[in-house]
Amino acid sequence: MYLTKNLDKQSRQFSWEYFMLMLSLYVLIELTIEIIYPISEPTLRLLEKIDFIICIIFQIDFFYFLYHSDNKKKYLKTRWIDFVSSIPFIGLLRCFRLAKVIRVVRLLRVFRILRASKAILYIIRWLSNNKMISVFVSYILILTVILFFSSLAMYSIEKDINDNINEFFDAFWWSFITVTSVGYGDIYPVTKLGKVIAMVLTLSGMGLFSLITAELSAKFICQIRKGNI
């Protein structure tokens, strides 16, 4: 009886995690399309309503696990961005689009990036906790997700400000060069938020590349000890 209940609980938890993963992927896809391609006003209104529903689901997820957390203070310290990025602002979106003030437009972009960061964090946590995916593959996927998100963030924030970023590929090129710590200097951030993204991306690249190198070294050593090399 206990085993059956435990299996049912694990099954429900897996289904919920899979559902949240799909929502996170949708958020990233929707953000990508909205940033790179022009969207009509009716479509934007539909996306706003969908975004509002997703925010409510994210809020439910946050408060549910907060309620069941053994250490609520620690949970709030480590998951505060989950709450902030899940705040719905459907009414503000329409006001921001009507306003032509540069600061207001930038604020709207920050909100969009926060929403995507929630999705990124969930995907990274899912990859890190998924035992079906090897550690090496997880590192590669996490690095790819961070690289793509940084490109989106950079393009969204600096496309109308930075003369060196005229299309999405420019932002992707900058992200790739930054994460590998090459830094040609042909493209660089000019806003404070862009510089923060650059710092986070550099640290992420250094850390993940170190982990990938360590994982490859461990596999080689293991193969040498087995006599396969």
Mean pLDDT, to the nearest integer, of 30-34? 81
In this prediction the pTM is: 0.68
Mean pLDDT, to the nearest integer, of 50-64? 85
**Predicted pLDDT of residue 170:** 92
| Highest mean pLDDT: which range of 64-78, 160-174, 180-194 | 160-174
Band of residue 197 on the pLDDT scale cut at 50, 70, 90: confident
**What's the chain look like in SS3?**
CHHHHHHHHHHHHHHHHHHHHHHHHHHHHHHHHHHHCCCCHHHHHHHHHHHHHHHHHHHHHHHHHHHCCCCHHHHHHHHHHHHHHCCCCHHHHHHHHHCCCHHHHHHHHHHHHHHHHHHHHHHHHHHHHCCCCCHHHHHHHHHHHHHHHHHHHHHHHHCCCCCCCCCHHHHHHHHHHHHCCCCCCCCCCCCHHHHHHHHHHHHHHHHHHHHHHHHHHHHHHHHHHHCCC
Mean pLDDT, to the nearest integer, of 73-90? 76
**Predicted pLDDT of residue 35:** 79
CATH 1.10.287.70 assigned to 133-229: yes
203-222 pLDDT per residue, tens: 888 887 777 777 777 777 77
Band of residue 69 on the pLDDT scale cut at 50, 70, 90: confident
Task: Report how far residue 115's alpha carbon sits from residue 118's, in angstroms, rounded to the nearest whole number.
Answer: 5
Q: Which residues 6+ apart lie within 8 Å of 162 measured at CB?
A: 187, 189, 190, 191, 194
86-97 pLDDT per residue, tens: 777 655 445 444
Mean pLDDT, to the nearest integer, of 124-137? 73
More confidently predicted of 154 and 48: 154
- Domain locations in the chain? 1-105, 133-229
131-156 pLDDT per residue, tens: 667 777 778 888 888 888 888 888 88
